């Protein structure tokens, strides 16, 4: 890992003379909104890498058993994270990234043998290979800031997903979405046609999407729809709930004199805006901010929080436990 150096500096020139290649991605550090330095990060991932998520009742020997299991299947562990709610009688969570030679054959055998080990420890597990790209459908209404953040990150390959379609209850975003080469489906909704509109969305999604992101989609999904994508629908909302429910929350927050603007990204459940939280963030504001300033600040936070939550979901870094999440 090479620390960034100013262009034309002696250390950079010496590196060029030694034939050191510049890493492919520069990650800046920010302070008070300004880039103040950074490190180069190599974003290339081994194509033979896989990820295993595990949750099970806590008991001695889990780590040893899983590690030996992977070793027996010619897997080399490269990242390992764990958490337990109680070392004596809690729930144990684990995330492991590992590389495998002769990936297709080894991965297939590991997947075939994994259920036997899982039964012994009453494990819930999820196994995925890096070559398995998730398919992300986006729902949006009229506000474009979260949608554009996702599309920009997808276009720049920061989000390693496929986007098979965008669904909206308004036609406003069609030109933007189709400009990225993504199909756009306008499905109007009225109180009388809500059931039919949801059924139309289900038909459009059938066989095309692994999870859904509500990028400021201003409709409440029915329990029937949610049940088709358990812990696979991600929503974003401002942090004023439950204090300022309904329309014009930023105007009411301004009138109340709030000092923090924030956002919450969570999985959607039948309890409105109360699903397992994936990510949250805040930005401090003060008396100098107008209601419009608060709205702009809120949009910035919403974009970042939603994009981070989606990235963690895509990278299999989230395990849902009850109404909470463990994010590795």
- Compute the half-sphere exposure of residue 133: CA atoms within 13 Å on the CB side of its CA: 13
Q: Can you spell out the DSSP letters for 173-205?
A: THHHHHHTT--EEE----TTTHHHHHHHHHHHH
- Alpha carbons 86 and 97: distance in angstroms, whole number: 24
How many Cβ atoms sit within 10 Å of the Cβ of residue 37?
A: 10
Q: For 287, list phi and psi in degrees, rounded to 5.
A: -65, -15
Alpha helical stretches, state H, 79-193: 103-120, 145-155, 174-179
DSSP per-residue string spanning 33-47 = TEEEEEEE------T
273 in active site: yes
Residue 165 and residue 184: Cα distance in Å, rounded? Answer: 6
Residue 139 tokens read as: 């729902």
H/E/C letters for each residue in 226-240? HHCCCCCEEEEEECC
81, 273, 281, 293: which is the annotated catalytic residue? 273
State the catalytic residues: 273
């Amino acid at each position: 890992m090479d620390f960034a150096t100013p262009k034309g500096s002696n250390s950079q020139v010496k590196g060029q003379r030694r034939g050191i290649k510049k890493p492919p991605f520069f990650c800046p550090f920010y302070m008070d909104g300004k880039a103040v330095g950074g490190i180069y990060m190599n974003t290339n991932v081994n194509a033979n890498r896989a990820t295993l998520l595990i949750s099970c009742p806590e008991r001695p020997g889990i780590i040893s058993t899983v590690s030996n299991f992977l070793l027996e299947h010619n897997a080399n562990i490269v990242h390992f994270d764990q958490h337990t709610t109680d070392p004596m009688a809690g729930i144990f969570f684990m995330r492991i990234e590992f590389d495998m030679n002769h990936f297709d054959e080894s991965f297939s055998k590991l997947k075939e043998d994994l259920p036997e080990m899982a039964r012994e420890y009453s494990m819930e597990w999820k196994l995925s290979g890096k070559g398995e790209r998730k398919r992300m459908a986006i729902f949006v209404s009229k506000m474009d800031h979260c949608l554009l953040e996702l599309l920009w990150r997808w276009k720049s390959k920061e989000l390693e997903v496929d986007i098979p379609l965008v669904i909206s209850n308004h036609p406003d975003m069609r030109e933007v979405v189709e400009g990225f080469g993504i199909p756009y489906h306008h499905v109007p909704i009225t109180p009388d046609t809500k059931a039919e509109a949801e059924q139309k969305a289900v038909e459009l999604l059938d066989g095309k999407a692994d999870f859904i992101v509500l990028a400021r989609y201003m409709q409440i999904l029915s329990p029937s729809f949610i049940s088709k994508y358990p812990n696979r629908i991600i929503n974003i909302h401002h942090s004023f709930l439950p204090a300022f429910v309904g329309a014009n929350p930023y105007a009411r927050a301004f009138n109340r004199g709030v000092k923090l603007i924030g956002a919450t990204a969570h999985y959607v459940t039948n309890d409105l805006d109360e699903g397992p939280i994936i990510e949250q963030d805040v930005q401090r504001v003060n008396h100098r901010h107008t209601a419009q300033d608060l709205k702009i600040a809120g949009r910035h936070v919403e974009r970042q929080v939603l994009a981070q939550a989606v990235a963690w979901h895509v990278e299999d870094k989230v395990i849902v436990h009850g109404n909470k999440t463990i994010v590795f």
